[in-house]
Structure 1
Amino acid sequence: MLRHRLAAFFEPRSLCVIADTELPVFTHLPSYLKSSSDQLRLADDATQARQQLRHFAPTPGRDLAMLCIRSSLLSAALQQLDAAPPRAILLLPGEHVDEAPSATRELIERWCRKHNVMLLGPRAFGIYRPHLGLNLSLASMQPRAGRIAVVSQSRMLLRSIIDWAEDVNLGLSAAVSLGEVTDVDLPELIEYLATDARTDSIALYLDKLTSGRELISALRAASSVKPVIVLRAGRADPILAGSDAVLDAALRRAGAIRVNYFVELFAAIKAMSYARRPRGGKIAMLANGRASAQLVQDAIPADSSMSMASLTQATAKGLSEIFGVGTLTENPVIPYVPLTPDALINGLRCLVADSQVDAVMVILAPDEFCDMPQVVTALAAFAPGAQKPIVTCLLGEAKMRPLRRLLDEAGMPAFRTPETALSAVLSLTSYHYNQQLLQQTRYVHSGQRPAELETARAILETACRDHAGVLTREQCIALVECFHPDVRWEPDEDDERFSALDDVPSVMIRVSRDPVFGPWIWFGEGGHMVHFSPSDRGVDLPPLNLNLAGKLIERSRVWRQELQSYVEPQILRKLQGLLETMSELVSELPAIESLEVDPIILGYRDLHIREIRISLMQPLPAVIPQDNGFNHMAIYPYPTHLVQSRVFADGTPWILRPIRPEDADALQEFIRALSEKSRYMRFVSMMRELTPKMLTRYTYVDYHRELALVATTQVPNPANRGLPQEIIIGLAHYLRNADGVGAEYALVISDEWQKRGLGTSLMQALIAAARQQQLAYIEGVVLSGNRPMLHLMTSLGFINEEDHEDPSMRRVWLPLDAGDQGV
């Protein structure tokens, strides 16, 4: 099994430490590293320190070298490492102020490039791996082992998070600060933690952003398997690249949770660590006082993914019987009798059982008429095992703090104020909402007219020859018509018919370009004097499908404040379609710098567009997006160009296409229908179906990093009067390896469709796509007895080698360098 290259930092098998200060690792080195460690504690005197370095001979091939020395000694230390360079270097800040930090950065970067060594630092906080007892930092604090990884671009903020985690008994799986050099960048670190078996959730503190595509791709991969919580400071700082509203949109589409304040980060970490995940955003509150519940209701953002649940009549009746006559049961639920342990637990059971409730908040203030310790003890015993998340706020300090700790220790999130409890619940509901966005894919459905891309590109080329940076109105309309929008084009302002629709409400769609995340789309109020507000959540990144476009409209300020009360469903659908059209346009035409459709007049039956403005990049990009991986966008769109209609030798038609998230049920049926022999040959087990995690991994694909291709055909569906039904008959998939340059493939063909050349066709398409993504090789492990698969692979040019770890398996692999055109 390949070892991830970042394992040299997070799971070093050998270590070299050179420091001119006392480090925790000197006195608390884990036993498994003691026999494979070189340690040098330098003297305070610089002359003596240089003498020590000259006589220091580090062992070659160490995983990690940890340096914490004054900048004047760095060159001498690196000279000693010349003959025995490690795989990675962690450079911590020394006690002495570095008077030439740029020179230090240049020196260490140049040395690491020369020796092909990974670098974390300079001025990194260091690394914690509590389950290994590993403290590679300056700080003596030792967090307890847990399941949360914390990554920060600020080492001082990381210290604070570690200190807070210790206070609330929260364990960490890893803690790391990046330092100033981007050799080990944030996306790669996120990828490593996404596959780390010790990590269940990831908390990130960001300030500076670099590659939008790589960051969002890594976040999408990580958040598809575990929660990712992001805090970013500097919303108004002009030095930090990228719009904060666009970052918000990018994180939503990546399935991550955005928090805005330090206290919200703690609340989200705590909630994600302790609570179950809700399946929606409808919340029920149970409080022993009306005012505290009202404080929470008042603080719920109007544009949030959270709302107050409408309790069923059966729930209201049950609550009245439990708490007595006079109980407020409309949500929030307010009993006016002192709580008892039995009443509280029975009331929670009633709320959890309500189909309209996704999560429950319990808000308790000190009450001299009830035994609060007994009530909280009962809550601590019940809530962690409840089928829906329960989040608690215990208001107060002297009497309530010990009770909050009791809940924390029981594995239930308990908070001190209504605001922090609300932040925790918002993080849970935002996670569910963003996960729904994450699973959305935009593709051309059967029956839809494909865009006339050649005509569209010709319009742009004409404008370029005319040296026009802005298209004329006629060119704009012709360009948009290539994508077949369902709109009516109205006369411009100079036409005498201009005022016919003046009293009808209007909206606008604007596309701009962000320096980090590329094109982004804003849906808002129409009119020339309207300015974009950074707090407006009516922002998203392309590509959009109809579902994503609908969510974008619903989040927008103009929809919430004005349109939702009277816009007819058919007009809403047309607005969704227009947003999808504009998204496709800017996805397929990277030459577009900006686009504005304003006003879009909402008629009774149609959308009427009066004005449109499109400006172009100068000079026009010459590359077609499919050829460079849509690198002008943060999110790689569904690769429609890989969809192919094919025919078997007997005339049966079939489709080769990339997999989509909605293929999950069809893929499961495909696996279930395989013979036991086929399943064993593919999975080396007798499993009858894919686990939920495997199903997600195969059907949710980040097309920037990996690919899954399916072969489908139409068969009669007896359950639906024999009408045609699409089924999957073959799957070819590759996932990137831990080394980041190669991938491991998987191939399985339905028993009934074997010996038709289907495996060859799928593998050829998969190999071509791997080459386009510039992978160095593709490999697989095949049972030695699976002769048909081994024959297929060797016929495609794969090298067949012995698997040294398991003689019953063969390793087949194919180099994909530019000179190899064997397939």
Structure 2
Amino acid sequence: MSIRHLDALFNPASVAVFGASMRPASVGATVWRNLLIGGFAGALYPVNPKYTEIEGVQTYASVAALPQAPDLAVICTPAATVVRLIKELGARGTRAAIVVTAGLSAAQKQAMLEAARVHTLRILGPNCIGMLVPHLGLNASFAHIGARQGELAFVSQSGALVTAMLDWAGSRGIGFSHFVSLGERADVDFGDMLDYLGSDPKTRSILLYIESVEDSRKFMSAARAAARNKPVIVVKAGRSTAGQAAAASHTGALAGSDAVFDAAIARAGMLRVDTLHDLFLAAETLARFRDGPSGRLIVLTNGGGAGVMAADAAATDNIPLTPLDNGLLARLDAVLPAHWSHANPVDIIGDAPVQRYVDALEALSHDSESAVLFIHAPTAIVPSLEIAQALLPQVGTTPQRVLGCWLGDTAVAAARQTFRDAGVPDFNTPEEGVRAFSFLRTFRLHQEELLQTPVARSATRAVDLPRIRALVDGVLASGRELLTEPEAKDFLAAAGLPVVPTRVVDADAAEAQAAAEAMGYPVALKILSHAITHKSDVGGVRLNIGSAAELAEACAAMLARVGELRPDADVQGFTVQPMVRKKHAHELIVGASVDPVFGPVILFGAGGVAVEVLADRALALPPLNTPLALAQIHRTRIAKLLNGYRDEPAADLDGIAQVLVAVSQLLAEVPELAELDINPLLANHEGAVALDARVRLSARRPAGAAHFAILPYPAELIETWTWREQPVVLRPIRPEDEAQHRAFLERLDPEDIRLRVFYSRRSIEHSELARLTQIDYAREMAFIATRATPEGGEETLGTVRATVDPDDHTAEFGVIVRSDLKGSGLGHRLMNKMIQYLRARGTQRLVGTVLRINRGMLELAHTLGFQESDSPSDPGDHDTRFVSLDLQPTVSPDDRSG
């Protein structure tokens, strides 16, 4: 249900506690006491028929006895009472409840949700600690302590962790905008919280403790929206790989749920850390240094040992230390003594006076691509505070370029505080500073992936879908799920992937010899059996066979070996293929499987027979395009080899990326594709070829774009319309349209902007443009009308946008056409396209708010069949009109009975 009525949960005007009590150490007593002493300014109502007052506050016997419907109800009563209370509260007008009560059965939880749904009443819990909103003085929880006011939001699936974190954060002076325990997440879940907190002005960063995710598309949509606005940092418990042993492919074995979660985090633009300490470390770094450089790092220190520790940490975290070029060396030589380190880390020697620090940092400022980790150990030469004050003009610049590390405690406390007051991130140790910088690098990489919105179908590879469908349907009709090797290669070839030629022969040496003679020695011989998936495990593969005699011996030995190890296997024959010899070649694996939570997932890594031992792989969620595929490749260790080294040329990375994109397309086009292995994919500087492949199908159709956790760009909605004797393209907006959209908005008259979007600013910030162009197609739609320009580019002529509510019942629209093109029919055509789209997706109603003086828009609405009325939310508003259109046909009673 997204954020509907969450304002009643997190910003209530009144709160009632059901089960409020005076019994010491009871949940009801603790919740009531926390609310009473927290400083909440709204009305508080204890509800318990056993009392007339609690701590001097009048107590009420029931929902009906309350003087008004509370915005928020906190339920601490036995499980058997919860459903009745939700029904009564919903009917009275309450729109949010925290169900602290534990022990509800599945039937009780379902009945509770059904009772709440009638009134769109939101439920936090059940079985939760509650929540705290410190800036309201609202502590609706049974936590043992309160929370400091701050700008971090913390949302936890674990109630026990909530109380521990409150204790831990309080001792360190960390404050929060919201502190929420989700409990069993019957209604309000991580997706809802991300939607709410992502647009909350009092929240600077969102911190999540997650154990599991159920609705992956909702979670990913909310996460991607929130991560565009502010850092979202995640700790996830559970790295278990249990249950993977039964997978039929290497990909299924390697793609554990935790690794898939990592891939989802990356694609959503979030950051995952391993510990609660890192959660706050990352939050401070991203808050203070989010716009600073993140490519490389320079360490500036007055102590050689501290510099070595930082360099070691950088090597461990794969952080590149900036090589000092001749220009930078010359600048440092000019201000440092002759015996400085002449390398990075830059050791300016322990006897450095204040001016040496200033001059060294000034010299390093000429490298704008590198961040500087400033490490200082206190000495008797000069007080640390003087150094900090002297460096303030440089460290206080925007964006930040310096991270601080003042080693010690009392002696550097004032210096550390001076840096912190200037907005410089501060770390206790060199290792902590380097680790924080690594978080920043990872976060930036994930933010780049967030901006990608690929299509489901690749324009670079033509897929022979009829050929694939015939193969898939035939295999499933035969009662099989696993394709034979020849079938798997045919499957890949139909997808436009390069495969090695393969001949199928009977289990007869003479036929194998004839095939080998035709293709030329050396050849590879493989067993062919529907029952054998991993052929090498049973001696079913022989490579580099150089003669007919050797081939005959290999056939006999292979049949004997397979008969010994797999007597149950029905052998159909052999496959013979030429040995592919590629200089400078690498064995890779490309695969696909279906995760039970996040749906289809793509794997890339080091291949060969030791693939599971090496476990060098990276996962990605489809759909993929070339930038996303290249990013996936670079997350593996083998990427360093693929980039080339010494006299080894770089592999064709674009060619490898296109294989990944093709697999993404297969997952979108072939819903039956359950598992895929291309192992090895042999790649060098000349290209890539699949030597072996395994494919498993499923009649349950677990793949397909409909099961993607991230909805692809809906390219199928693109159409061309002839307008004024010229072609105009009507299509969904894309993230790449930002510059084009800015140009479109800048050509609008100020009055048109005011009439359409109710403000008069002509300039629009990047964050606003990103929100307009980087949309989630599962939640909203924006169509633009474009035409080609004489320069060979494209320009936007008009746009229509609709945001759909969480229940897909009502969509709110806005439409605007370039000022010089008003009255040309573009607005009418755009509105018609949106109406057709919303009808097809099942949305019930399209509505809009129009300024009364905007007669052109009101007339357009009338011609399209909209009904005009006063605003239902504010009938006294005489400046605006409300227009609505029923999108689905009304079913009469007679039709329903028939």
- With normalisation by structure 2, the TM-score equals 0.81
Please name the residue that 1:550 is paired with. 630
With over 3 angstroms needed to count, the CA separation of the structure-2 counterparts of 1:239 and 1:579, relative to structure 1, is closer
Bigger mean CA offset, 538-547 vs 312-321: 312-321
Please name the residue that 1:616 is paired with. 697
Q: Is 2:419 the counterpart of 1:348?
A: no
Q: Is 2:407 the counterpart of 1:395?
A: yes
With over 3 angstroms needed to count, the CA separation of the structure-2 counterparts of 1:423 and 1:11, relative to structure 1, is same
Residue 736 of structure 1, CA deviation: 4.1
Q: Is 2:206 the counterpart of 1:211?
A: no
With over 3 angstroms needed to count, the CA separation of the structure-2 counterparts of 1:758 and 1:354, relative to structure 1, is same
Question: Which of 598, 603, 606 lines up with 1:525 in the alignment?
Answer: 606
Q: Is 2:237 the counterpart of 1:246?
A: no
Residue 674 of structure 1, CA deviation: 2.4
Question: Which of 327, 334, 340 lines up with 1:314 in the alignment?
Answer: 327
Please name the residue that 2:275 is paired with. 261
Distance in structure 2 (CA, Å) of the matches to 1:786 and 1:330: 67
Distance in structure 2 (CA, Å) of the matches to 1:385 and 1:670: 34
Residue 243 of structure 1, CA deviation: 1.1
Bigger mean CA offset, 651-660 vs 402-411: 402-411
Residue 220 of structure 1, CA deviation: 0.6
Distance in structure 2 (CA, Å) of the matches to 1:270 and 1:574: 40
Residue 345 of structure 1, CA deviation: 4.0
Bigger mean CA offset, 275-284 vs 101-110: 101-110
Please name the residue that 2:832 is paired with. 764
Distance in structure 2 (CA, Å) of the matches to 1:215 and 1:641: 25
Bigger mean CA offset, 758-767 vs 517-526: 758-767
Distance in structure 1 (CA, Å) of the matches to 2:295 and 2:85: 56
CA contact (8 A) 1:310 1:356 kept: no
Please name the residue that 1:720 is paired with. none
CA contact (8 A) 1:312 1:354 kept: no
Q: Is 2:449 the counterpart of 1:437?
A: yes
- With normalisation by structure 1, the TM-score equals 0.88
CA contact (8 A) 2:126 2:186 kept: no
Question: Which of 219, 227, 233 lines up with 1:229 in the alignment?
Answer: 233
With over 3 angstroms needed to count, the CA separation of the structure-2 counterparts of 1:817 and 1:361, relative to structure 1, is farther
Q: Is 2:662 the counterpart of 1:587?
A: no
Bigger mean CA offset, 392-401 vs 238-247: 238-247
Distance in structure 1 (CA, Å) of the matches to 2:171 and 2:453: 42
Distance in structure 2 (CA, Å) of the matches to 1:592 and 1:798: 44
SS at match of 1:65: strand
CA contact (8 A) 2:241 2:256 kept: no
Please name the residue that 2:46 is paired with. 39
SS at match of 2:239: coil
Residues 538-564 of structure 1 deviation map (CA, whole Å, 9 limit, x = unaligned): 221111111111111111122235664
Residue 24 of structure 1, CA deviation: 4.0
Bigger mean CA offset, 811-820 vs 523-532: 811-820
Residue 775 of structure 1, CA deviation: 3.7
Distance in structure 2 (CA, Å) of the matches to 1:740 and 1:597: 40
Q: Aligned letter for 1:348?
A: L
Residue 809 of structure 1, CA deviation: 2.2
With over 3 angstroms needed to count, the CA separation of the structure-2 counterparts of 1:497 and 1:272, relative to structure 1, is closer
Residues 476-500 of structure 1 deviation map (CA, whole Å, 9 limit, x = unaligned): 3443344433666566645665334
With over 3 angstroms needed to count, the CA separation of the structure-2 counterparts of 1:334 and 1:63, relative to structure 1, is same
Q: Aligned letter for 1:117?
A: L
RMSD of the TM alignment (CA)?
A: 3.6
CA contact (8 A) 1:538 1:557 kept: no
Q: Aligned letter for 1:10?
A: F
Distance in structure 1 (CA, Å) of the matches to 2:84 and 2:588: 65
Distance in structure 2 (CA, Å) of the matches to 1:4 and 1:378: 51
Please name the residue that 2:468 is paired with. 456
Question: Which of 734, 752, 756 lines up with 1:682 in the alignment?
Answer: 756
Question: In the TM superposition, what are the counterparts of 1:33-432 in structure 2 within 5 Å?
Answer: 33-34=42-43, 37-40=44-47, 53=61, 57-69=65-77, 81=89, 84=92, 86-92=94-100, 112=116, 117-139=121-143, 141-236=145-240, 238=242, 243-300=257-314, 306-357=319-370, 359-378=371-390, 383-400=395-412, 403-405=415-417, 407-432=419-444
SS at match of 1:415: coil
Distance in structure 2 (CA, Å) of the matches to 1:474 and 1:350: 63
Residue 65 of structure 1, CA deviation: 0.5
With over 3 angstroms needed to count, the CA separation of the structure-2 counterparts of 1:272 and 1:510, relative to structure 1, is same
> Rg bigger for which structure?
2
Distance in structure 2 (CA, Å) of the matches to 1:79 and 1:775: 28
SS at match of 1:307: coil
Identity between Structure 1 and Structure 2 (%): 30
With over 3 angstroms needed to count, the CA separation of the structure-2 counterparts of 1:132 and 1:686, relative to structure 1, is same
Residue 68 of structure 1, CA deviation: 3.2
With over 3 angstroms needed to count, the CA separation of the structure-2 counterparts of 1:603 and 1:83, relative to structure 1, is closer
CA contact (8 A) 1:778 1:813 kept: yes
CA contact (8 A) 2:651 2:683 kept: no
Residue 136 of structure 1, CA deviation: 1.4
CA contact (8 A) 1:519 1:542 kept: yes
Residues 396-427 of structure 1 deviation map (CA, whole Å, 9 limit, x = unaligned): 34544565455445543212223322232122
The number of residues matched between the two structures is 797
Question: Which of 720, 724, 735 lines up with 1:661 in the alignment?
Answer: 735
Question: Which of 811, 814, 817 lines up with 2:882 in the alignment?
Answer: 811
Residue 141 of structure 1, CA deviation: 3.4
CA contact (8 A) 1:242 1:516 kept: no
Bigger mean CA offset, 781-790 vs 191-200: 781-790
Distance in structure 1 (CA, Å) of the matches to 2:107 and 2:835: 44
Please name the residue that 1:5 is paired with. 5
Question: Which of 769, 775, 799 lines up with 1:731 in the alignment?
Answer: 799
CA contact (8 A) 1:283 1:360 kept: yes
Q: Aligned letter for 2:308?
A: Q
SS at match of 1:614: strand
